[in-house]
Amino acid sequence: MSVAFLFPGQGAQYAGMLHDIKNKWGLATTFEEASEVLNQDVLSLDSSEKLKYNKNVQICLFIAGVAAARSFKNKGYSPDVVGGHSIGAFGAAVASEVLSFKEALLLVKKRGKLMENAYPDGYGMGVVMGLREHQLLSIVNELSTDAAPVYVANLNSPDQITISGTLKAIEKVLEKASKKGARKTKMLHVTVPSHCPLMEGVSSELRKTITEVQGKDPSVPFIGNCKARKLWKAADIKEDLAASVALPVRWHDTTEVMYEMGTRLYIEMAPGRVLTDLAAKSFPEARAISAAESTMKTLLILMEKEKM
pLDDT at 307 over 90: no
CA angle 143, 123, 84 (to 5 degrees): 100
Split at pLDDT 50, 70, 90, the class of 243 is very high
Q: Where are the domains of the chain?
A: 2-118+198-307, 123-191
Our answer to whether residue 134 is catalytic in this structure is no
In angstroms, rounded to a whole number, what is the distance separating the alpha carbons of residues 4 and 205?
Answer: 31
Global pTM reads 0.96
78-114 confidence digits (pLDDT tens): 999 999 999 999 999 999 999 999 999 999 999 999 9
Our answer to whether residue 85 is catalytic in this structure is no
**Mean pLDDT in residue range 50-72:** 95
pLDDT at 24 over 70: yes
CA distances in angstroms from 75 to 29, 69, 156, 302, 307, listed in the order given: 15, 10, 31, 14, 15
Classified by CATH at the fold level, domain 123-191 comes out as Alpha-Beta Plaits (3.30.70)
**Mean pLDDT in residue range 53-63:** 96
**Mean pLDDT in residue range 267-291:** 96
Pick among 3.40.640.10, 3.40.50.720, 3.40.366.10, 3.40.1190.20: CATH of 2-118+198-307: 3.40.366.10
pLDDT at 166 over 90: yes
Query: What's the mean per-residue pLDDT of the chain?
Result: 96
Task: Return all residues near 212 (Cβ < 8 A) that are at least 6 apart.
Answer: none
Q: Which of 71, 96, 195, 282 is catalytic?
A: 195
Split at pLDDT 50, 70, 90, the class of 27 is confident
Split at pLDDT 50, 70, 90, the class of 1 is low
Work out the number of other CB atoms within 10 angstroms of the CB of residue 77.
Answer: 18
Q: At what angle do helices 17-25 and 28-38 cross, to 10 degrees?
A: 140
Q: Which of 86, 96, 244, 282 is catalytic?
A: 86
